Structures are given as C-alpha cells and as structure tokens.
Amino acid sequence: MVTVRGEIDAVNVDRVGDCLRRFLLGDQPLVLDITDVSHFAGAGFALLQTFDEDCRRAGVEWTLVAGGNVIEQLVAGDGDAVFPMAGSVPEAFGDLADAVVYRRRLALPLIKKTA
C-alpha cells in the first residue's frame, strides 16, 4: 500500500510519480491511498493516467482509494470510475485478494497432476 497526503499539483507531480513507480515490483498488487490528499489538480489526474498505464505495462493490478473531493474528479459522466477504485483500504485489499483467488481458480484446470 502506498499513501499520499497533502497536495498533488504541477509543483510536485513529477516527484510523486517517481515515488509511485518505485512501488511497481514484479506482479505484486498495489493499493494507492489518496484519501488524505487535500488538493488534487489536473496534474494529479494526469499522474494517475500515467500510473495506470505503467501498471498495465508492468502487469500490476492496482486499486485507488480516494476521498470525496478527489472522487468527483475521477468519475466519468456516466458514473463509472475512470480507474480501479474502492471505497476504503480494507475493501481494496479484499477486492485484490478476490481477484487472486479468481485467477487461481481459472488456472487449476490447466495444471495436470502427475503420478
């Protein structure tokens, strides 16, 4: 889990982005908690878009947990979230754990037993 607090704006967006990329380790899922971000400028949205692309390229599943002031900026006109989102950190971990269990169930028939 990575937690970002304070402001995300044009002044610090590159530094925040560099920090986030350090946590893209192998195929370990990641929860990005920005519930305590007090200011989320357009640069923050661009940061999340880039981070989403980086995660896709690296094959890393991630979930965003955001506060109400940020969520309004991250929901599309049809009400769907632009990024994978959860309502809380525990919910995000539960969603990621459920995804792992689901993938394992899909893989089980592919594994053959040998005697």
C-beta of residue 74 within 8 angstroms of C-beta of residue 67: no
- This prediction's pTM: 0.78
For the chain, list the domains and their CATH numbers: 2-108 (3.30.750.24)
Comparing CA positions, the residue from 83, 40, 45, 43 lying closest to residue 63 is 83
Q: Note the pLDDT of residue 11.
A: 93
Element (H, E) at 53: helix 42-58
Split at pLDDT 50, 70, 90, the class of 18 is very high
Average pLDDT over residues 6-22: 93
Task: For 40-98, write each residue's pLDDT tens digit.
Answer: 878 888 999 999 999 999 988 899 999 877 877 776 656 566 788 898 999 998 877 76
Residue 41: predicted pLDDT: 79
CA-to-CA separations, 79 to 43, 71, 73, 76, 83, in angstroms, rounded: 22, 11, 11, 5, 12
- Which residues make Cβ contacts (< 8 Å) with residue 25, sequence separation at least 6? 60
